[in-house]
Chains A and B, each alone.
Chain A
């Protein structure tokens, strides 16, 4: 670099200088204060995908595990000594379906294994739940109240009135019952007082209970029959007498009068037109 070059540079620096506008300065300085945008770590994306898959799979499995409990028919009520539960198991029917779909035929259902023995000395007043995922084992009362209660069960338990022995001992079942409470007809929510004094009886006593059910006096049944049941029996008699039109009209009137009443399958078989 010689003097001539220096002179050249001096002449260059005499040229009007240009500077960036202040707004540009501010923009660049603001950008310089922002933190570095770090690219996503190499493992982050696969890890995120794997985590999402695991969570989704777990959720699906959980739903699948719980879904059958909510949709399977209730386990039949095991016959208990002192109760007049029918020998035929009671299928559980969704309350919402009953009015639209043909009533199911009462048939033998596999008896679910009895629930674990849970002793509750205090008597409990249980609500009738439309679903009972686990078999309950109410013990027949020993006192005189057994008669009306037994008669009630003679008519109602056949289909849906699975009375839980201990509602507090089965929160899952209670939740199901609660969730279906809206769909359950009011008439079906008749409460049955059951004294749970002992644990569920052994299987041997169930046969004895069934025998008692078969021998239940019909008079007692009538004694405990509700007005709705009596009306249905009247319709059944009309149907049996071949007065189908009259039976249909009576059935239709019954439906209008008791829109929420759930007709038990056994009764439905009697009153419906064949």
Chain B
């Protein structure tokens, strides 16, 4: 039976550097996928990715397994992304968008390849799914990526994004609906 993420993090906080390597190996891919699809460039993704892990490292002694490790880790990533979007002057994700709308009217420049023309080109030349994902509103894309990459449930998404469960559920549902429609249009 493998050691849980929480146990590894506690062991790392107690001085076991090998525990962190195991933890990093488990989560570096999903976290990087989450980050790289949330920003425009790979360089920004690498910077944010490193920063998230650094914050986790610095907080090793304060870590308390009150929630899943992934929830804690993606919460850090969410806050770091918000900082990034603010610095870039992009629309900041509101904390609560309601449960029956598609979220706020986002700045088209908020997401990578959000330009409609670029989306059309991507549809023609690349995977339509990827284009549909890139075209999602920011909050919906984030909810989907947290679910798809981090394996977070709706309550965990709500916790990681500092919103309520209804909003998180709505964002995830709308995101999947749009992606499904993109696939079914093939």
Contacts and interface: CB of A to CB of B under 8 A. Distances in A.
Interface of A: 4-5, 7-9, 11-15, 17-21, 24-25, 27-29, 31-33, 36-37
A24 B176 contact: no
Contact of B176 (A8, A31, A32): A8
A226 B167 CA distance: 112
Interface of B: 12, 17, 20-21, 24, 28-29, 32-33, 36, 42, 45-46, 49-50, 53-54, 57-58, 60-61, 127, 129-130, 133, 148, 176, 179-180, 183
Contact of A31 (B46, B57, B61, B133): B57
A175 B179 CA distance: 94
B54 A20 contact: no
A20 B28 contact: yes
3 closest A-B pairs by beta carbon, nearest first, are A32-B20, A28-B53, A33-B17
Per DSSP, chain A at the interface is helix
A31 B59 CA distance: 13
Contact of A8 (B28, B58, B183): B183
Contacts of B42: 18
Nearest to A33: B17
Contacts of B183: 7-8, 11
A32 B24 contact: yes
B129 A12 contact: yes
Given A8-B180, A12-B148, A12-B179, 15 more contacts: A15-B130, A18-B36, A18-B45, A19-B32, A21-B46, A24-B50, A28-B50, A28-B53, A28-B57, A29-B21, A31-B54, A32-B24, A32-B53, A32-B57, A37-B58
Contacts of A24: 46, 49-50
B129 A28 contact: no
Nearest to A38: B61
A4 B12 CA distance: 39
B29 A17 contact: yes
A31 B12 CA distance: 13
Given A18-B42, A32-B24, A36-B61, A11 B32 contact: no
B49 A20 contact: yes
A112 B176 CA distance: 103
